[in-house]
Amino acid sequence: MRPRRDHFIEFVHHNVTTIRNHPLLPTLSLLLLVLGTESYQRLVNIGFIIICVFIIGHSFLLWYYKRYEFQDGSFLYTNGVFHRTFNHVPYQNVRSIYLTDTWFKRLIGLSNLHIELLGGEEIHFVLHNRDILTLRQTFFQEWSLHPKTKSSQRFRIFEYWLLSTTNLPLFLTALSLTLTIISFVLRHFSVHLGLETAQEHEQSLNDTRGLWEIMSFEGSAFLEVDYWLPILMGMGFIFLITMLFTVLMSYITYRGFSLQKRESDYEVTYGWLKRNQYVLPTKNIRSLRIVEPFMFRLLGYVQVKMDHIGLNEQASNQLYVAPVLKKEHLEAYLSEWFPQFSNSASIESPKRQALFHFLWERPFIWAVFITILGIEWSFFYYGYWLIPILLLYGYHEWRNEGLAYDTEFIINRYLNKLTVVTVITQSKHVESTTFSQSFFTKKQGFGTFSYAVYSEMLEEVYSCRGLSDDRQREFLSYLKTKPPEKS
């Protein structure tokens, strides 16, 4: 295939990215805000022209000098303006490929082709869909095109709501949008809606006091129920509207979710305005995660995520192979879609004697911290009220931790905040095993079992505390018993 560049629309993307990320523009805007524009009109006009020429010129050069050529066995990739980089990448170093696009690119038949390499580096190109199809058929034949099994999931509104409870950034975005809309409505239409009179509206617009000044001015009135009732009703209304926006955003994010299983890979596709498509070789799947957030656990649902060697951290965090799944269907789901991860190993839980250590590890450190600060500032003593919460959290950690292993897998279960996570890791990806115990835990017959897994991060270690030390020798010699890797 002859050398080529990204589609010209990527030139527009470079302009937008430069405007968004370059510190010169907000700095200039701040100076204009402070100094005003009346005395510096000529300089402002000249500066604006210089900035436009710089942005357009730099974006064009970024687009022009990014070139790539696909050949038999490898591809060449060149980028950079003032400092040019030449890369020669063999196809065997490709860990995964995935596609993303926006609604506009979808209209004109374009997609972003992302290629993940060994070490987590990512290269992406903007191509016509027909060119991507040609590349996959010609150079990436390992990622086959014809599905063996395909599943398209249509979630109910209730399940979209469940998804929204696990995404804090999405909730904060919806909250910001809600507050912006409510602020606009109150500022321009509060009189028409009968929420206040014209005189009250004028007074509120001219009121420059902050919240603390308003509460101080009200005196003891803010302790009365009638004072707080409208505020609480307003907060409840804001929360309701925010949740509606969050559910809508979850729908846009996960609409059209589908999972395809082929001879040598899986393909995950989801998204409406921004579509994501991941092609994941089966041989690079390191582990599956059974994720049970608090609300999912209460209502009998789970999520299934995939840890895939080669994906960057952001993509890996977003990669669900089952965003919403009833827990009662989990075993059948794994048997059908991921039979290589189906197992019947019994998870060993921490000993009863270890409960004391789980309960008091955090409260003891917190109590010492609060006591020291309370000597100087007495209001810190109110922090002792958090100790029952820490005790309860320690109890749930003890209830939910566990470990199991055999020649094929290591299974680790742990509590992460309010989410129970079960990680099923293939033994071939385990790099080392460790057992540790203190003087006190040795006398009580338990310790901490840890193992490190192959990862592109500097270190990725999983631990389980409070397990009986009867199997420490067996665990430490685990790497000797795992099956040899298939060539």
Does residue 447 contact residue 424 with C-beta atoms inside 8 Å?
no
Q: How far apart are CA 359 and CA 391, in angstroms?
A: 5
Q: Are 401 and 414 within 8 A, CB to CB?
A: yes
Residue 464 has pLDDT above 80, yes or no: yes
Question: What interhelical angle do 225-254 and 157-164 show, nearest 10?
Answer: 110
Which percentage of the chain shows pLDDT scores above 90? 21
Q: What is the DSSP string of 381-424?
A: GGGGGGHHHHHHHHHHHHHH-EEEE-SSEEEEEEEETTEEEEEE
Q: What is the mean pLDDT of residues 225-243?
A: 82
**Confidence (pTM):** 0.71
Residue 26 has pLDDT above 80, yes or no: no
The pLDDT assigned to 485 comes to 57
Q: What is the mean pLDDT of residues 122-143?
A: 74
Q: HSE on the CB side for 468, CA within 13 Å?
A: 9
Which residues have a Cβ under 8 Å from the Cβ of 64 and sit 6 or more positions away? 5
pLDDT digits (tens, 9 = 90+) for 42-86: 776 777 778 778 888 878 888 888 888 887 778 888 887 777 788
Q: What is the pLDDT of residue 147?
A: 44
For residues 414-439, give the mean pLDDT: 91
What does the pLDDT average to over 113-120? 73
pLDDT at 314 over 90: no
Percent of the chain that is helix, strand, coil (3-state, to 5): 50, 25, 25
pLDDT band per the 50, 70, 90 thresholds, residue 145: very low
- Provide mean pLDDT across the span 421-443: 90
| C-alpha of 6 from chain center | 28
Mean pLDDT of the chain: 80
Q: Structure tokens of 256? A: 């059209």
pLDDT confidence tier of residue 216, bands split at 50, 70 and 90: low
Residue ranges of domains in the chain: 161-253, 352-397
Structure tokens at 101: 């696009």
Which tokens sit at 363? 């409260």
Q: Which long-range contacts (CB under 8 A, 24 or more apart) does 261-264 make?
A: 261/147, 261/148, 261/149, 261/150, 261/337, 262/144, 262/146, 262/147, 262/148, 263/144, 263/148, 264/142, 264/143, 264/144
Question: Which segment, 102-106, 182-186, 204-208, is predicted with the most confidence on average?
Answer: 182-186
Task: Please give the average per-residue pLDDT across 122-133, as a whole number.
Answer: 80
Tokens of 2: 């002859």
Give the DSSP H/E element, type plus range, for residue 356.
helix 355-376
* Contact of 436 with 463, CB cutoff 8 Å: no
What's the whole-number mean pLDDT along residues 403-415?
90
Highest mean pLDDT among 135-139, 231-235, 448-452: 448-452
On the 0-12 / 13-18 / 19+ scale of CB atoms within 10 A, 184 is exposed
